[in-house]
Each structure stands twice: as structure tokens, then as C-alpha cells.
Amino acid sequence: MPPRRRQTPPRDPVHHPLFARFYARASTTAETLGAVAALRRELLHGVSGRVIEIGAGNGLNFAHYPRAVSEVVAVEPEPTLRRLAAAAASRAEVPVDLVPAAAEALPVKSEAFDAAVASLVLCTVRDLPRSLSELHRVLRPDAELRFLEHGLAPGPGMAALQRGLDRTVWPLLFGGCHTARDPLAAVEAAGFRIVSQRSFRLPERGPALPTSYCVIGSARRLP
């Protein structure tokens, strides 16, 4: 019998069981009460072909992929959320292949995808430039990156609060989330051209939260 290879687990896997349970509940409520389902439909409208989604969470995007999508490779490193995503994948109308991996090292071939999707995840990946450079690698030239993200507030007061939270409690409480990142600047720096963007506040009314400054849009992969 050949010697068994020891499987070395990743040094520091993404494992946030408490946050995962919180997110599963909060995100499901936000779908209808916070109108996030409508944003997911907007995010995925017109997407087609082979799609890669990073940090798929509990799979709330899956129900919104158009039928023109031939396959979704959904990457999710957190085990609790991945289990929930598997259930969502089984109900989806398009084939979803769930992969346990992180955005910083996508276990897929280069230039193999027609579109990529990042929703509420660029705030959380450990290495933002590396994750976006991986998306650039796996997309074919001119392919689309669709994004729905929160980020840095335009006003200095809230921006200072966001930076303070990011240095202290926020990532610990919310599964590695950061509030003061600038997703548009990071996407452009990674070799994409922004083709559409709409900034908005979520929730629209009431006091702003550190995560209220959102943007939805798409970018094209430059050669």
C-alpha cells in the first residue's frame, strides 16, 4: 500500500462559527426587510457563462443568477456558512459548485471565467490586493467583475470612526470585516476598469452605520 500523504491543514483557516450563525440570521432578515434581495438581483442581472463568486457566505446570491449562467464556482472558506451555502446550491436553478477555498488563492485555472462576483466580501478578505489579483488572473480578458460592497464614508467624521473601529473591535466582532476599505480604488488598482457604479446608503433612512456606505456596479478586466 502506498504511504498515506499527510493532509496539512491551512495554517490559519477562516473559522468564525459565532459570526457565521449571526450572519446566517441577519442576512436572511435583511433580504426582505432591508431590501437586499433586490440589490442581489440588480448585481446579477445579465450575467452569463461561467461565473466565479468569492466568499459566497450562506449562498443568498444563488437564487438570483440568471439562467444564462452555465455554472457558478462558489468559493467559501468558512465551514458553517459553506454548509448553509450547500443547501442553497441544491435549490438554485443554475449549477453551483461549492469550493472550500479563500479568495487569496483560488484553486482554478487562469482565464477560465466569463464573470466574477464579489458581494459584501472585499471588506473581509485578509489580503485585498491579492484577492483582486486572483480574480484578475481567473477572468478572461474583458470579462466582468460585479460588485456590491460597503466601504469608506465620504465624510471625515465617519471615516475616522471607521478607521478606529477597524483597528480595534470591528474585525473581531464581525468575522474579519473592515469598514474603511475603498473597494473601487482597490478594484481599479488590480487592473480593472470601472464601467458602472451606484453609491447608496444602506439602510436608506435612519442613522448611518459604519457599514452604510455602499456601492454596486461592474468593472472590466483589463488585458
- The distance of closest approach from Cβ of residue 80 to ligand SAM in the complex, given in angstroms and rounded to an integer, is 9
Which residues, numbered 73-102, are part of the site for ligand SAM (CB under 6 A)? 75-78, 81, 102
Taking CB atoms within 8 Å and a gap of at least 24, the contacts of 190-198 are 190/129, 190/132, 190/133, 190/135, 190/136, 191/133, 191/136, 191/221, 191/222, 192/132, 192/136, 192/145, 192/219, 192/220, 192/221, 192/222, 193/219, 193/220, 193/222, 194/218, 194/219, 195/144, 195/219, 195/220
Of positions 39, 47, 52, 60, contacts ligand SAM by CB under 6 A: 60
Note whether 14 binds ligand SAM by CB under 6 A: yes
3 or 12: CB nearest ligand SAM: 12
- The distance of closest approach from Cβ of residue 196 to ligand SAM in the complex, given in angstroms and rounded to an integer, is 19
Side chain identity, residue 41? R
Residue whose Cβ sits closest to ligand SAM: 57
Note whether 54 binds ligand SAM by CB under 6 A: yes
CA 112 from chain centre, in angstroms, equals 19
119 or 218: CB nearest ligand SAM: 119
DSSP-derived secondary structure letter, 152? -
Note whether 27 binds ligand SAM by CB under 6 A: yes
Beta strands in 23-100 (DSSP E): 49-54, 69-75, 96-99
Note whether 133 binds ligand SAM by CB under 6 A: no
Note whether 217 binds ligand SAM by CB under 6 A: no
Note whether 23 binds ligand SAM by CB under 6 A: yes
Of positions 39, 47, 52, 55, contacts ligand SAM by CB under 6 A: 55
